[in-house]
Structure 1
């Protein structure tokens, strides 16, 4: 937070959770770069929104990179993946995505509401496309700087807040954005946060807050898979078992598989006995 001015900032640096995502799939370098930048951006966005649920940033396109999706909860637990087709050399963001769109969704469990914004992929980077999203959605002016490496991803967010009893921030906002634009990817990835902030804003009075932990964890589990299979109906599951011998479900986020043989599949639709009719052995 910049003292005396209505501008706040966020920094994120992820290493273990980034490596956990990379362990699931062997992503080509260009895909890895965009996935990492989207991951850092999603955590930054989640840290600025008051909600109880999850935020999803999804980028879809008709280019070689067909989809990138990152989900992050209000507790900063995340998961993500990317899909691509064919082989390609290192390319720019807009070349990889082709004609695409960025979808940002917020599911708020507290009021059972879902909010969604969609903008075309028009920028040359993930950060520029997010800037377009904030400009079009008439939200608080927001700028992001993102970096992705083999061992870590990082990002910085600046956001102009409503002015209540503080100095007008127009000139100040322009100045801090100009200073932030001098940052290099290597600095975001390698410099400790205090050293980074001092390099950028050494003339400003900053208030720093405690770090918040971020972790990778997939929300899939056997119970959720069972409920999904029940929703398909007994006839559908029975037909799959007759045709394949079992039912297999694969989570694309964590690459974990769930197998249901004939007995497991039949057990999905066995009703629990009424209370008072349980037998004792």
Structure 2
């Protein structure tokens, strides 16, 4: 290991096993996590669950080889009807829980029972892809493990934790055979790496920097640690996007709102940014048959 930093900033760090076809990623979120949960003042159980979703979204986004974003979304019949975390290839993240104002539980099976977990890969150019798995496991990490098992991809496992102040996660993933061709040895190495990772406690995942975690788990294994990459909270809302949303409304409805309120103010549910529009701002919206109509 070449990186001995113990800084716990918002960042993710990749590592490779030198003698096995296995990669890993460890993420720690501090201010990016707190900025998001402070906007909505979620209940403790929801805050922790949202932190796990954020950590998982970052880990999954590190697998993207193109410009675009990854969305991790759960819908359920429980105390949290919808929860979503989104991370793009530049590791800009945002997240939200909807309809969770009355949530009181801290148990995964009560917050998100009877639902589905969707992983959506949305490239800037190219085909959008979505995979769905039922929320039948006892944690988000185990649901993600099940998703990758069912999709018949290379072995992938997750470890996630959040405590309202910090969120963290670790991913292990098999790589195509390169260093080791023998199937039995590949299976043995994969099981060994996973068994050691299961000894990691949540407090260690939250409190230790990635190099310390790697030393704690794999000090007898030769590893290569890559330069950490920063993660930050960034909403992609804008005045232009909000104006285009208004343009999708019937012109008569926009007229009615302006007559009643004098102006129209729209809030972004992710970051609470407000966008105010007066009648002069909305001329293209108010004249839907004119060439200047927004689309």
Does TM, scored on the shorter chain, surpass 0.5? yes
Aligned to 1:153: 167
Once the 2 structures are TM-superposed, how far is the Cα of residue 139 of structure 1 from its aligned partner? Answer: 1.8
Q: How many residues align?
A: 272
- Work out the CA distance in 2 between the residues paired with 1:229 and 1:176: 52
Residue 271 (structure 2) pairs with residue 257 (structure 1): no
Deviations 1:76-135 (A, max 9, x none): 001111123453543310111121100110111122x21001111011011011111111
Give the corresponding residue for 2:40: 25
**Residue 80 of structure 1: aligned partner:** 95
Pick from 125, 132, 142 the counterpart of residue 139 of structure 2. 125
Structure 2 stretches lacking a partner, 5+ long: 1-15
| Equivalent residue runs for 1:99-110 within 5 Å | 99-110=114-125
Report the Cα offset of residue 259 of structure 1.
2.0
How far did 1:230 drift? 1.8
Tell me the residue number matched to 2:4: none
Aligned twin of 1:211: 228
Tell whether the 8 Å contact from 1:12 to 1:156 is kept in structure 2 after alignment: yes
- Contact kept, 8 Å, 1:248 with 1:258, in 2: the verdict is yes
User: Which residue in 2 is equivalent to 1:183?
Assistant: 200
TM-score with structure 2 length normalisation?
A: 0.87
The offset of 1:233, in angstroms, is: 4.5
Does the aligned pair in 1 maintain the 2:46–2:106 contact within 8 Å? no
Provide the C-alpha distance between the structure 1 equivalents of 2:78 and 2:277, rounded to a whole number of angstroms: 36
Greater Cα shift, 212-221 or 86-95: 86-95
Equivalent position to 1:44, from 59, 66, 82: 59
CA distance in 1, matches of 2:56, 2:22: 18
| Structure 1 length-normalised TM | 0.91
3-state SS, counterpart of residue 232 of structure 1:
coil
What residue number does 2:70 align with? 55
Q: Quote the residue 1:7 is aligned against.
A: 22
Q: How far 1:243 sits from its partner (Å)?
A: 4.6
CA distance in 2 between counterparts of 1:138 and 1:242 reads: 57
Residue 172 in 1 paired to residue 186 in 2? no
More RCO (CA 8 Å, sep 6+): 2
CA contact (8 A) 1:58 1:68 kept: yes
SS in 2 for 1:48: coil
The answer (yes or no) to whether the contact 2:17–2:221 under 8 Å persists in 1 is yes
Secondary structure of 2:119 counterpart: strand
Contact 2:51 2:164 in 1 (8 A): no
When residues 214 and 2 of structure 1 are mapped into structure 2, their CA distance, relative to the original with a 3 A threshold, is same
The structure-2 alpha-carbon separation of the partners of 1:244 and 1:37, relative to structure 1 and needing over 3 Å to count, comes to same
Q: Secondary structure at the match of 2:87?
A: strand
Other structure's SS at 1:140 match = coil
Q: Is the 8 A contact 1:147 1:155 kept in 2?
A: yes
Give 1:220-259 correspondences, 5 Å limit.
220-259=237-276
